[in-house]
Amino acid sequence: MYFRKDLNNRPVPKISVPHKNTMMCLNESFLDPFDVIKETFLDEMKDVHVNRYFSNITHKLNIELENYLGIPQSGFLFGNGADEMLYNLFISVRENNDSFATTLSPSYFDYSTYCKAVGLGIKFIDLDFNFDFSVDDFIQQANDDNCKLAILCTPNNPTSNFLSDEKIFRILSELDKPVLIDETYFEFSGKTFIDFIDQYPNLIIIRTFSKAFSAAGLRFGVIISNEDNILQIKKTMTFFHSGLLTQTFAYSILKNKKIFLDHNKNIILMRDQMYNEMKKISKIKVYKSATNFLLFTAGEDSLSLFEYLMEKEIAIRNVSSGKILKNHLRVTISSHEDNKLFLDTLTQFFNKQKEKR
């Protein structure tokens, strides 16, 4: 055996999602960012030489990030997606085979994937049917000496709701260990804890360009904390961890950020419109959202609905798991055309169900 023993019986990570003509399953944007930034990008690339390791684009990108985030460069690191930043954070906190992270369930499934990849255990505190949690249970589990990190996603994926500010601040105050707040959907929710970085030395924040900046395929994310924490995480990263093309693209997005942020405002409007339309369908329970997706259930008809949508070349996400999300589905807000197609297909499905009965 050449590798870690715990890898022997572990499956290769994979994501099982349908691939259809209308993709509303991965919380992607329907806006192609290259159409927006190509002039800036191509102009910048005249001075970016990919035959070299170093480029001034790195400095320019850091300045743009500093302006956008409102914090000094010593307070953040960027890398290949929020996922890589999670990966390096998990490496930086792991001490030994007994080390573990604490998070909520259900939440972003790849917390578990990347913890296991680096040999860090993970333990869960279950959400209740209101998508809330016991802060006492969370703190008790996180206070274990072997717990090296607490993880909170707000707004949470896939439940789309905010976690309680009061509970988050209590966790930050009472835990003497890193607390990661995943703000993947910040640009849709408008809520951030970035202003509390100086107040809480254990606070770490993750952001991504995959959602609000329409760049899922770019793989660009940022980890934010105080200077000391960032320095320690930086020690786990390779030096040339992000390609110059990616950096130039990310820089070009930030130079045109108003276009993307205005686009997000339209997504929020369409999300609320979709929510109101889905509420009119008596067979569906849909939840308010602070993200770019909607969580809903059609009860025992959910799986049949999921299959019907796939037959119609519409891909959404089946997020059914455990008691809390049994028979639940998730749909990404897309273009007006995609959203209308989805709603029309829902109506068709329930009309057919009515005919059968």
- In the chain, the amino acid numbered 306 is F
Domain ranges of the chain: 5-30+258-356, 47-255
Segment 54-58 shows an average pLDDT of 98
For residue 197, give both structure tokens.
Answer: 């970085």
Q: What is the fold, at CATH topology level, of the domain defined by 47-255?
A: Aspartate Aminotransferase; domain 2 (3.40.640)
Residue 9 has pLDDT above 90, yes or no: no
pLDDT value of position 248: 98
Q: What is the fold, at CATH topology level, of the domain defined by 5-30+258-356?
A: Aspartate Aminotransferase, domain 1 (3.90.1150)
Segment 93-107 shows an average pLDDT of 97
Segment 242-247 shows an average pLDDT of 98
Residue 223 has pLDDT above 90, yes or no: yes
Residue 355 has pLDDT above 80, yes or no: no
Residue 245 has pLDDT above 70, yes or no: yes
C-alpha angle 309-310-312 in degrees, rounded to nearest 5? 65
Residue 322 has pLDDT above 90, yes or no: no
For residue 19, give both structure tokens.
Answer: 């691939």
Percent of the chain scored above 70 by pLDDT?
99
pLDDT confidence band for 356 (50 / 70 / 90): confident
pLDDT value of position 357: 65
pLDDT value of position 8: 87
Radius of gyration of the chain (CA): 21
Distance (Å, whole) CA 83 – CA 104 = 18
Residue 127 has pLDDT above 90, yes or no: yes
For residue 259, give both structure tokens.
Answer: 């276009």
- Do 47-255 and 5-30+258-356 have the same topology in CATH? no
Distance (Å, whole) CA 151 – CA 101 = 7
- HEC secondary structure over 77-108: EEECHHHHHHHHHHHHHCCCCCCEEEEEECCC
Q: For all residues of the chain together, what is the average pLDDT?
A: 96
95 neighbors 68 (Cβ within 8 angstroms)? no
298 neighbors 289 (Cβ within 8 angstroms)? no
Residue 352 has pLDDT above 90, yes or no: no
Distance (Å, whole) CA 197 – CA 194 = 6
Pairing state between β 179-182 and 203-208: parallel
Q: What are the tens digits of pLDDT across the range 176-206?
A: 999 999 999 999 999 999 999 999 999 999 9
Q: What are the tens digits of pLDDT across the range 14-37?
A: 888 889 999 999 999 999 999 999
pLDDT value of position 1: 62
pLDDT value of position 18: 83
Segment 99-113 shows an average pLDDT of 97
pTM of the entire structure? 0.96
Residue 354 has pLDDT above 80, yes or no: no
- In the chain, the amino acid numbered 188 is F
Percent of the chain scored above 90 by pLDDT?
92
Residue 138 has pLDDT above 70, yes or no: yes
Q: What are the tens digits of pLDDT across the range 140-181?
A: 999 999 999 999 999 999 999 999 999 999 999 999 999 999
